[in-house]
A and B are shown apart, each in its own frame.
Chain A
Amino acid sequence: MAPVAPRSGDAIFANVERVNAELFTLTYGAIVRQLLTDLEEVEEVNKQLDQMGYNIGIRLIDEFLAKSNVSRCVDFKETAEVIAKVGFKMFLGVTASVTNWDADGTCCSIVLEDNPLVDFVELPDTCQGLYYCNILSGVIRGALEMVSMKTEVTWLRDMLRGDDAFELQVKLLKQVPEEYPYKDDE
């Protein structure tokens, strides 16, 4: 029998090496500031943050699968739960919740109650169009792409923009059939 997927990442988080969240927060802030200086346009910064997240996501999924003992999720609903309960906990030490499912189970919201990226952060007037945490949406998109799911991840609520929580909408666009490298023997 396949191992039962853990329902929370608490135990994993307790066992991995950890660093102070403030170092993480301030380093991320330094990255965002560099991007703002280099790229000038807030839109470009959003794009670059998403790209960085994507780069992280496609690598992070390996570590996630190796350490989490999660077996194949039966449907997208389970996938979303695992991201929120195990994924976020394992890497960022926080838990998220999944809500707002649509009727066919391909679109939901991941709501963050705590977000270590935004401690000490306030958006100045010049940066109102900035999705400060856009790296997170890239991470989810990249990680899911590596397990054959094409998704679109967008921010619905952002506390830095005055909302009461962080809400990421994750929309499953298509399941890519697994392609085996058939031509390997040639």
Chain B
Amino acid sequence: MIGVGKIKQYSNVLDKPLSKGKQEVSLSAFAFLFSELVQYNQTQVDNISELERRLEDAGYAVGARVLELLCHRDKGNRRETRLLGILSFVHSTVWKVLFGKVADSLEKGTEHEDEYMISEKELLVNRFISIPKDMGTFNCGAFVAGIVRGVLDGAGFPAVVTAHFVPVEGQQRPRTTILIKFAEEVLRREARLG
């Protein structure tokens, strides 16, 4: 009975027209869901780094899909091939779609050539999160770090991506910095391309 009734059915998900990505849900709905993700993963681990790794894995799965979706929808099936291009794609396009705004800043690390940082004063996923004292430096931004790693990896820029709290003077809450450390091969390729 395909096509009968209000909702059109598709035999295959790929036949379905791609949504424009303008649909929204309430922030609370996302926050509730995210909190369940974190709580569930807490039951599966013994320590903080394991928890961060699991959140990062969940994020990675999101990132890989976001890359595919955005390249197809927004960039006419093209993707960035240069380092700065892909970084600004993450900082602007990806951030805008996922979090409704461009990330607060994108900087190059001063000490290491292969490090870049995306910082956000109030990361969406951390909005309603307060870290208990006994959990030390744990940052739920690991999920976002995973998203970034998923996008970069999928685009051919393997990197180690981590999330850190950085205290800001005059602010009660620290900002979150997503630290991206590219694999050696990425920098070598970049140097070759000139």
Contact = CB atoms under 8 A, between A and B. Distances in A.
Interface of A: 13, 16-24, 26-31, 33-35, 38, 48, 52, 55-56, 59-60, 63, 90-93, 113-114, 116, 119-122, 135, 159, 162, 164-165
A21 B25 contact: yes
B13 A122 contact: yes
B34 interface: yes
Interface of B: 1, 4-7, 9, 12-13, 19, 21, 23-30, 32-34, 36-37, 39-41, 44, 54, 57-59, 61-62, 65-66, 69, 97-100, 124
Interface of B is mostly: helix
Contact of A60 (B32, B66, B69): B32
B137 to A, nearest CB: 23
B181 to A, nearest CB: 23
Contacts of A52: 36, 40
Contacts of A122: 12-13
Given A20-B98, A91-B28, A26 B23 contact: no
A34 B146 CA distance: 14
Contacts of B33: 24, 27-28, 31, 56, 135
Interface of A is mostly: helix
Contacts of A162: 9
A96 to B, nearest CB: 12
Given A19-B99, A26-B62, A120-B13, A113 B25 contact: no
A121 B32 CA distance: 21
Contacts of A27: 30, 33-34, 37, 58, 62
B24 A19 contact: yes
Most B CB within 10 A of own CB, among A18, A113, A159: A18
B61 A92 contact: no
A22 B69 contact: yes
Contacts of B36: 31, 52, 55-56
A164 B9 contact: yes
Most A CB within 10 A of own CB, among B30, B61, B69: B30
Given A18-B24, A120-B13, A23 B98 contact: yes
A19 B31 CA distance: 10
Contacts of A113: 6-7
Given A33-B61, A113-B6, A122-B13, A22 B97 contact: yes
A157 B181 CA distance: 47
13 contacts: A16-B26, A16-B27, A22-B19, A22-B66, A23-B30, A27-B34, A28-B33, A30-B58, A31-B33, A31-B37, A31-B40, A52-B36, A164-B4
Given A24-B30, A31-B58, A56-B33, A116 B9 contact: no
Contact of A34 (B19, B26, B27, B58): B58
